[in-house]
Structure 1
Amino acid sequence: MSDAVGGPAAPGGRETDVAAPLARWLDRHVGPHGPWRSAPLAGGNSNETHLLRGGDGRRHVLRRPPRAALSSSAHGVAREFGLLTALYPTAVPVPRPIALCEDPAVAGAPFLVMEHVADALSVTDTVPPGWAGDPGALTRAADDLVDALAALHRLDPAAVGPAGFGRPDGFLGRQPGRWYAHWEQVACRPLPAMAPLARWLTDRLPGPAPTGFLHGDFHLDNCLFDADTPRLRAVIDWELATVGDPLLDVGLLLAFWGERPGAAVAMPAVQGVSRLPGAPPREHLLERYESAVGRPVGDLAYYRVLALYKLAAIVEGAYAQFRAGALDTPYAAALEHDVPALLDEAMACAGLAAGRR
């Protein structure tokens, strides 16, 4: 397989020369810093992320749709670039957007280039070595996480832009049916919990709430922290962002934070540090969020259930690709267990009967 970003595909993160058309484009739009080299940082069903290194040592990040995209709408880099451009001057910490290419002939797909956040890392289930010996590290990281989310949710999308971003009218009411229909399109096995969860979400729909930006996949793992201190540097992976009920972000963040129901939880590495000694409880994050935005969350259970239900519907598409042989990664293989486990957690949070996978 060839890769216009990095010449021949580079398994295991190996750095390779970028293809000539992309190198010329980078020289024109990013700066004459070549020769350019590239190494993959991430893949799967999120937009692919590549680290670009110029001949002078300067580093940038390139984002492009994945080869095995779950849907075209979820991976629009022009949309992501427009949002990053709007958010960068605000209090929301995001990487600086640099350039956008919508011509697929340059690198095989549209892509964006943004700054590389130096000396930063994503935190999953292990406390970074640079934080060792600091008993308050996880609390300060959690506080930064909540403060960034609250800063996003306090923004006025009409004032910040980009224009026409999202469809906020009726957003929450559309969610149960939208994700059930999405699951029906990608389904490769029975998931009996989907129907009762859809009914529960429809019947318990909260009343009208303030609308705002939502990240769409907000959790600790989609943030970059300073390697040596628990300071949030940037929120990343904005491809699912929209305008609607921002409490859906709160639901996902808190659904994966702290103790979770069940002996074998779904995606255990996600925010795994929140279950380590010294991590603040879910209530700490909730209280800090409510204080920052100036209003109560209300029916948190509803948003936790919706977040888990939505995530299960989305990532079942990746499992279907795995079953079909189109996606062969440990992440996709683990979805055989993880998707039913997500639905089990949603059922438990909703107070519905267990064992309906």
Structure 2
Amino acid sequence: MTNCENMTLDVIIIGGGPIGMAAGIEAQKKGLNYLIIEKGCLVNSLFNYPANMTFFSTSEKLEIGGVPFISHNPRPTRREALEYYRRVQTKWNLNIHLFEEVNEVQKLGPEQFEVKTNKVEYFSKNIIVATGFYGLPNLMNIEGEDLPKVKHYYDDPHLYSFQKIVVVGAANSAIDAALETYRKGAEVTLVIREEEISQRVKYWVRPDIINRIKEGSIKAYFNSSLNSISEQNVIIETPEGSFEIENDFVLAMTGYKPDFSLLEKMGIILAEDELMTPSYNEDTHETNVEGIYLAGVICGGMQTNTWFIENSRVHAEIIIEEISRKVQ
């Protein structure tokens, strides 16, 4: 990897997920001096997906850098995706620093940014933020949520075999967790704020969960929420009143939100409503801070179902074309 500490780079890319990697590929193709900084492992957000997760999209829609993504399934799995993006890294040999976290980005002047990480300081003419949204879970803010038995990140269903599980949520992550743990022998109860299973659940999975609920294999409380959690029980608020049931684990699949603190420290304006959409030019993806660009899911603010790998890969091309025009 290039030593970037004693030079001013053309661009620093914050986030080493698929979109950050795509931006690095485009920068490399344009001959720009760049660095990708990722706080975790390569494609860290995908690594933190459930072990048995299957993508909604087909493999070709997840491709970057002209590297073919061949899957053995109609839709690729998390494991296949991790292997694919490792192959992309091997092909392009991207200049990426892993397990290094950006703490501060300060604008020193026109085309001059200082980037401080937990390890060192860098200087760059431009910044691309491609940090995704998987950093912070949406909390329920109820008593007992901080107990060790409460999980906001679901991994392997084997852990919950023969346990009494409460799964909170009605979207894909919650339904996958409910079905997988049920099939590993767990006693599963779903707690859902809405009146039905989300219409956004994968079309081949939705009938499965509906039928398991109808036959009584999985208990579901609709228009309901958790009231509190204790070591051995939970209290569920339903239209018919409160119920206390025995419980070993709570899987709070309540979704995630971007960490906006870094954007705010950079001076990027966020919408003052609940969506908190960052301010940026849709034609160039440059924010209200000249020289700072947004790519990927972060562009949607709290609307984390707006941008995906499939429809935001193009952000990398748009941004790098703009930066290349400026620096050359």
- Name the one with the larger strand percent: 2
Q: Would you say same fold, with TM above 0.5? A: no
- Larger Rg belongs to: 2
More RCO (CA 8 Å, sep 6+): 2
- Name the one with the larger helix percent: 1
TM range (shorter): under 0.3
